[in-house]
């Protein structure tokens, strides 16, 4: 079966990855145990000078080393495969999938603190890992949870501002607008106006980033309750963790839903720097725009159908299969529906990826969650059947480099099972999660003094002339 072949390949990759990750040079400053009891800000302050020197040495000793050749296909094809920016918090391998500071998703599930024994990792733990490269202990994560709760208070006028928007506006439009409204509270913007030295940029960026991460769940939950629950707002719980509190404010107090939200926020947080939302934030922030401006821009990119909006399209497509073929759809019926989708000029949502060439590990961990908590859910069983049927069809089509499922292929079905059925809202969850990775990198952008991004663009005429000269030389 296709599914088990994919899992077998994934197991071999995990084994190989474990061997690679044991090399000290692969993740030079990742420490599996925290070496200090300092709080998060203090740990960063202690680490930054070393990383600044590391970057300076890299530039002085290897600044002229070529990292590859740029082809016309890359220029015309969305810069795919072109190495062009520094992103410290995660790295995406086409075969292995994402690694957060050198750790795979299964490794993160194993070593990051959880709300309960054997539970899913707490997103606060991943935030600590992304920022420091160190695995925090439970006390450090609990302390960070408390700090985020303290930072989470938002002014009432934010809610009044959201109420002034058309209730039919897409939830992502409302989320982006809300982040822009909060921008007036930017510590970086105020400090820059007062002439702060550039060596201190990271400090106010840190404050803005943690404030933004902390306040997003309340804003996002308010948008959800306003649109779908007649405006019945649920306040933050004074002792729940980040993921649990977000689920609670949305209106879900099933412990399994809390666990799902912790997993969701963790695995969607970061996917290196070249994707639309991450790259957008990095680009905008390189102009010294503060984290609110940069993240609002990222959200607008995430809202596109070829990026974050795909997760809502997956669930809608799966439900269209059920509407036309029934829940007990046969393999042949499913193949016919897939071909019908492809022949209409559409894609099968949730399959394929711009970088990955294997099953997305984020899909795999969600499947494992479903097998544990909702094995008999009809839509989950349909997702499992799609895993067997879609890849061979896409391979037969011959135009798809990666026929395997990505993260979006599974998340909507899990959310739907626990009652979050409003697919139009799903990308907001993605946005809240992505703040953790984007804001972590923005802090390091300022700490390392990364410059204004300004790549070179060319015209088709320039390309034609250059290629003609290259052909005759």
Which helix (H) or strand (E) element contains residue 172? helix 171-182
Note whether 330 and 281 are same-domain residues.
no
Region of 419 (left: φ > 0; alpha: ψ -120 to 50; beta: rest) is left
- Residue 408 is a catalytic residue: yes
Note whether 321 and 221 are same-domain residues.
no
344 is a domain residue: yes
Q: CATH number for the domain including 115?
A: 1.10.580.10
The average pLDDT across 43-54 equals: 96
Note whether 347 and 240 are same-domain residues.
no
Note whether 295 and 328 are same-domain residues.
no
pLDDT surpasses 60 at 229? yes
Q: What is the pLDDT of residues 123-141, one digit of tens each?
A: 999 999 999 999 999 999 9
Note whether 241 and 211 are same-domain residues.
yes
Q: Whole domain around residue 330: which residue ranges?
A: 310-418
341 is a domain residue: yes
251 contacts 257 by C-beta, under 8 angstroms: no
Note whether 153 and 245 are same-domain residues.
yes
Q: Which of 258, 307, 410, 417 is catalytic?
A: 307
For residue 99, the cross-strand partners are: 91
**pLDDT score, position 213:** 98
pLDDT surpasses 80 at 188? yes
pLDDT surpasses 80 at 352? no
Q: What is the pLDDT of residues 284-308, one digit of tens each?
A: 999 999 999 999 999 999 999 888 7
Note whether 110 and 150 are same-domain residues.
yes
Q: What is the pLDDT of residues 156-185, one digit of tens each?
A: 999 999 999 999 999 999 999 999 999 999
Number of domains in the chain: 2
* Tokens 């974050």 sit on residue: 308
pLDDT surpasses 50 at 9? no
Q: Which of 408, 410, 417, 445 is catalytic?
A: 408
Model confidence band, residue 282 (pLDDT cutoffs 50, 70, 90): very high
What is the secondary structure of 78-123 as a DSSP string?
TTTT-------SEEEETTTEEEETTB-HHHHHHHS-BSSTT-PBPH
Note whether 317 and 298 are same-domain residues.
no
The average pLDDT across 359-376 equals: 92
Cα(65)–Cα(468) distance, integer angstroms: 27
Q: Which of 248, 258, 282, 353 is catalytic?
A: 353
88 or 5, greater pLDDT: 88
Cα(412)–Cα(312) distance, integer angstroms: 7
101 contacts 129 by C-beta, under 8 angstroms: yes
Cα(202)–Cα(45) distance, integer angstroms: 9
Q: CATH number for the domain including 334?
A: 1.10.230.10
66 is a domain residue: no
The average pLDDT across 206-231 equals: 98
Short-list 295, 276, 251, 270, CA closest to 415: 251
Q: What is the pLDDT of residues 71-111, one digit of tens each?
A: 999 999 999 889 999 999 999 887 788 999 999 999 999 99
Note whether 148 and 199 are same-domain residues.
yes
Q: How many CA atoms lie within 13 A of 197 on its CB side?
A: 2
- Residue 353 is a catalytic residue: yes
Note whether 399 and 438 are same-domain residues.
no
Q: What is the pTM of this model?
A: 0.89
68 is a domain residue: no
50 is a domain residue: no
Note whether 182 and 283 are same-domain residues.
yes
pLDDT surpasses 60 at 273? yes
Dihedral of alpha carbons 464, 66, 16, 438, sign: negative
413 contacts 318 by C-beta, under 8 angstroms: yes
């Amino acid at each position: 079966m296709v599914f088990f072949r994919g899992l077998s390949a994934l197991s071999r990759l995990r084994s190989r990855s474990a061997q690679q990750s044991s090399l000290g040079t692969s993740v030079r400053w990742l420490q599996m145990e925290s070496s200090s009891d300092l709080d998060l800000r203090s740990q960063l302050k202690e680490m930054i000078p070393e990383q600044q020197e590391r970057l300076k040495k890299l530039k002085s000793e290897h600044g002229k080393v070529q990292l590859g050749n740029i082809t016309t296909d890359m220029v015309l094809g969305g810069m795919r495969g072109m190495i062009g920016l520094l992103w410290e918090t995660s790295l995406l391998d086409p075969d292995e999938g994402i690694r957060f500071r050198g750790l795979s998703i299964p490794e993160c599930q194993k070593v990051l603190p959880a709300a309960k024994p054997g539970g899913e990792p707490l997103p606060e733990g991943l935030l600590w890992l992304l920022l420091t490269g160190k695995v925090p202990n439970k006390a450090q994560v609990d302390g960070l949870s408390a700090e985020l709760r303290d930072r989470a208070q938002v002014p009432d006028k934010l809610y009044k501002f959201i109420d002034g928007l058309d209730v039919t506006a897409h939830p992502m439009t409302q989320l982006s607008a809300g982040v822009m409204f909060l921008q007036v509270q930017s510590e970086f913007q105020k400090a820059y106006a007062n002439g702060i030295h550039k060596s201190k940029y990271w400090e106010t960026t840190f404050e803005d980033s943690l404030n933004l991460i902390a306040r997003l769940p309340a804003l996002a939950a308010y948008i959800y309750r306003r649109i779908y629950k007649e405006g019945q707002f649920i306040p933050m719980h004074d002792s729940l963790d980040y993921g649990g509190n977000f689920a609670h404010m949305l209106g879900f107090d099933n412990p399994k839903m809390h666990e799902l939200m912790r997993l969701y926020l963790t695995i969607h947080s970061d996917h290196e720097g070249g994707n639309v939302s991450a790259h957008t934030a990095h680009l905008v922030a390189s102009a010294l725009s503060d984290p609110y401006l940069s993240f609002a821009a990222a959200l607008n990119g995430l809202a596109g159908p070829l990026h974050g909006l795909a997760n809502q399209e997956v669930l809608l497509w799966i439900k269209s299969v059920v509407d036309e073929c029934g829940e007990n759809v046969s393999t042949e019926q499913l193949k016919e529906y897939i071909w019908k989708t492809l022949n209409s000029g559409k894609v099968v949502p949730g399959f394929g990826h711009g970088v990955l060439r294997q099953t997305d590990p984020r899909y795999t961990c969600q499947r494992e969650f479903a097998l544990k908590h909702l094995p008999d859910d009809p839509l989950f069983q349909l997702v499992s059947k799609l895993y067997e049927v879609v890849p061979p069809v896409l391979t037969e089509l011959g135009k798809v480099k990666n026929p395997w499922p990505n993260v979006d292929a599974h998340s909507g079905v899990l959310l739907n099972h626990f009652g979050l059925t409003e697919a139009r809202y799903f990308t907001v969850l993605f946005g809240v999660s992505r703040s953790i990775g984007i804001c972590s990198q923005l802090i390091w952008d300022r700490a390392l003094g990364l410059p204004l991004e300004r790549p070179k663009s060319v015209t088709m005429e320039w390309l034609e002339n250059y290629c003609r000269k290259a052909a005759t030389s």
